[in-house]
Amino acid sequence: MRIIPAIDVLGGKCVRLQQGDYQKNKVYNENPLEVAKEFEANGIKYLHMVDLDGAKSKQIVNYKILEEVATHTNLKIDFGGGIKSNEDVKIAFESGAAQITGGSIAAKNPALFLEWLSIYGKEKIILGADCKNQKIATNAWLESTELNVIDFINEYVGKGIQSVICTDIAKDGMLQGPSFDLYEKILQNKKVNLIASGGIASMDDLVKLKAMGCEGAIVGKAIYEGRVEIGDLKFKI
């Protein structure tokens, strides 16, 4: 299973939110590049970067930070947050993203999202399936929909999506363990490459996610709070 540390960027700084609440943010480093370099120095190969400013403003904002990290490290970056247009996708890839994650756009404009899948291929486009009470949430998690997360994922897998990042918002930033029950339901579809995100608090959580069949796991606050040591992660467990 791939271990993918997260850098969430707000106001140019590396932060973590609690359950997606922008008012409950904690700054861990003023310089995201420093954090990325530390990950790489400890054997990490992958990075999940979220443009929180972009997610809120509905367009890519922190592409310069993406470019800086991509230029000064060899990390393979998947980038999301505010990607809503063809121009946003172009900027993200030109700034060094190896992959982009589309969440709100997949819920609100599926035709455009599928167009990106067709143009760039399933290796480059990740489906973001962020949910609360198993309903898809959009626009920086500030809006809810009636879309069931499992149906949402299965429909897109049927249309060619390969990789899915699923975050249970209620778990995110709480350090109380991920949404194992939800992931078990999602993994009943054997075609899903599931990347678990939200709530991971320990190495035991990662071992359990691997045993369940997750392709990857995104770890954020547990690293920043010292619950999981970067050196223990490498890039696989």
Catalytic-role residue among 8, 51, 172, 205: 8
Neighbours of 176 (CB within 10 A): 11
Residue whose pair of structure tokens reads 């589309």 in the numeric block: 102
Closest CA to 131 of 75, 37, 199: 199
For residue 223, give the 3-state DSSP assignment: helix
Catalytic status, residue 130: yes
Provide the 8-state DSSP code for 155: H
Catalytic status, residue 204: no
Single-letter amino acid, residue 161? I
For residue 37, give the 3-state DSSP assignment: helix
Catalytic-role residue among 51, 130, 168, 172: 130
Phi, psi of 172 (to 5 degrees): -65, 125
Single-letter amino acid, residue 142? L
Handedness of CA 27, 29, 31, 35 (dihedral sign): negative
Residue 92 is encoded by which pair of tokens? 């993200």
Alpha carbons 224 and 216: distance in angstroms, whole number:
19
Q: Known catalytic residues?
A: 8, 130
